[in-house]
Amino acid sequence: MNDQERLRAIWDRSVEKLKEVVREFDITEDELHIAGAYFNRLGQSGMCPSLIDVALAMTSIDAKRQRSHGGTRANLTGPYHAQHPVKADGNLCDTPPAPDAPRLEMSGVVTDVATGQPIAGAEVDFWHADHNGIYDRQGNHLRGIVPTDEQGRYRINTLLPNDYSEHDFDPLGELFRAMGRTNTRAAHVHVKVCVNGVDLLTTQLFMSTSNMLKDDYVEGAVTDDLIVALQKREENGVTIYSGQFDIAVAPETSAATAS
């Protein structure tokens, strides 16, 4: 199937499925026009990618995983990835943390899933929201690439991310409110692992401190194997959470399926 045929087939099948929905729920022409106006507003708010992510991206990721050779479960890239600087010491904070902001110390080993051997020099790319659930969209605060050491180990020092809910005042939040659903993501740290210039894994690690682990608005995103069990301690009046998460990737497989 060429690109044009594939696009045509996807369009035909999608419209066919939506026609079933129109019949099943007796959706009126007026209601369809309301939907059209809604999509205009959604587009103006820049939230179309988020709607697609929330509704469909996990399905695509899980289907791809069925064809792969295991390792750490993949997860959404989400809307906020960027090119990040290398932060070799693992400190992701570009501005000094507020004293009352809880810190996160996370470490682990990156291994080859086939051999179990650690991978030295893997580039582990992190990005996450702050203690108020806000991403830095201009700069590189709470973002950075951390190379693994000779033992395949990474270590980051950063802020503990909070649950993320930036949709309270946009059309995406409006839709979820109208359905009686939350619009909140469980606190997470995004991770991308790149070895020898090849992206092998994109995933998200969920913080055991989150209250939204059962209610993440991206259905199917949170699974037990991606939850980092955090320990809490106090040091000089600062709250520090620490946890360990090993990451297994499949260098050959991913390179072979990338094309």
| Footprint of Fe ion (CB under 5 A) | 78
Q: What span, in angstroms and rounded, lies between the C-alpha atoms of 205 and 222?
A: 9
Q: Is 79 in the site for ligand DHB (CB under 6 A)?
A: yes
Q: Is 54 in the site for ligand DHB (CB under 6 A)?
A: yes
Q: Is 103 in the site for ligand DHB (CB under 6 A)?
A: no
Phi, psi (rounded to 5 degrees) for 148: -75, 150
Q: With contact defined as beta carbons under 8 Å apart, do 190 and 81 qualify? A: yes
Q: Is 76 in the site for ligand DHB (CB under 6 A)?
A: yes
Q: What span, in angstroms and rounded, lies between the C-alpha atoms of 56 and 179?
A: 17
Q: Is 53 in the site for ligand DHB (CB under 6 A)?
A: yes
Exactly one of 61, 74, 78, 159 binds ligand DHB (CB under 6 A); which one?
78
Q: Is 250 in the site for ligand DHB (CB under 6 A)?
A: no
Q: Tokens 């270590």 map to which residue?
A: 155
Nearest-CB residue to ligand DHB? 78
Shortest CB 53 distance to ligand DHB, Å: 5
Which of 172, 161, 104 is CA-nearest to residue 136? 161
DSSP annotation string for 206-239: EETT-S-TTT-SSTT---GGGEE--EEEEETTEE
Considering only residues 2-41, where is the footprint of ligand DHB by CB under 6 A? none
Select the span of 75-83, 98-106, 232-240, 249-257 touching ligand DHB (CB under 6 A).
75-83
Q: Is 80 in the site for ligand DHB (CB under 6 A)?
A: yes
- In the shown chain, the binding pattern of residues 119 to 158 toward ligand DHB, with x for contact by CB under 6 A and - for none, equals ----------------------------------------
Shortest CB 38 distance to Fe ion, Å: 24
Helix ranges restricted to H, the chain: 3-24, 29-44, 48-52, 58-66, 171-178, 251-257
What Å distances lie between residue 199 and 128, 161, 173, 191, CA to CA? 19, 24, 32, 11
Q: Is 216 in the site for ligand DHB (CB under 6 A)?
A: no
If you ran DSSP here, which 8-state letter would residue 86 be given?
Answer: B
- Summarize as ranges the residues that interact with ligand DHB (CB under 6 A): 50, 53-54, 76, 78-80, 164, 185, 218
